[in-house]
Amino acid sequence: MNLKITINSKVFKVNLQDNATAKAFKELLPLTLDMKELNSNEKYAELPESLPVKAYSPGKIQNGDLMLYGNNVVVLFYKTFSTSYAYTKIGNVDHADDLADALGSDNVLVKFESDSPYETVYNEK
């Protein structure tokens, strides 16, 4: 399962986890979120509905991790760092080296959509 995210016309591929959270997140697509800046290492936004949770403490966040915090906050990390917080993993961005530059230092609109044209057309809300 994959999806793509678009940030200021820059497109990134996201490899989704094979779990209930990732599947439920994909059902929300297409989705454009106004993601808020936090701690100079992440962007986050509240989702329109709650998702299934299976939180764990990863110990270390990787650049490009796409996580769920609680049951309705999606978090896109653009730096690698240690953490004691618990998240449910949704997926990770392929080739995330340019992710921080694309996201910038302020709030940003991020478009999440299916990587499959068939799913995008027939999953429109």
Confidence check: pLDDT of 120 > 80: no
Closest CA to 108 of 33, 47, 46: 33
Q: What is the pLDDT of residues 70-106, one digit of tens each?
A: 999 999 999 999 999 999 999 999 999 999 999 999 9
* Cβ count within 10 A of residue 72: 14
Q: Domain 2-122 is in which class?
A: mainly beta
Domain ranges of the chain: 2-122
Residues 22-49: tens digit of each pLDDT: 999 999 999 999 999 999 999 999 999 9
Can you tell me which residue has the tokens 């799913």? 119
Task: Report pTM.
Answer: 0.91
Residues 6+ apart with CB under 8 A from 117: none
Could you read off the pLDDT of 49-60 as tens digits, one per residue? 999 999 999 999
**What pLDDT band is residue 118 in, cutting at 50, 70 and 90?**
low
Q: Which of 78, 80, 87 minimizes the C-alpha distance to 110?
A: 78
Q: Which residues touch 108 (CB under 8 Å, ≥6 apart)? A: 7, 8, 34, 35, 37, 43
pLDDT band at 122 (very low <50, low <70, confident <90, very high): very low
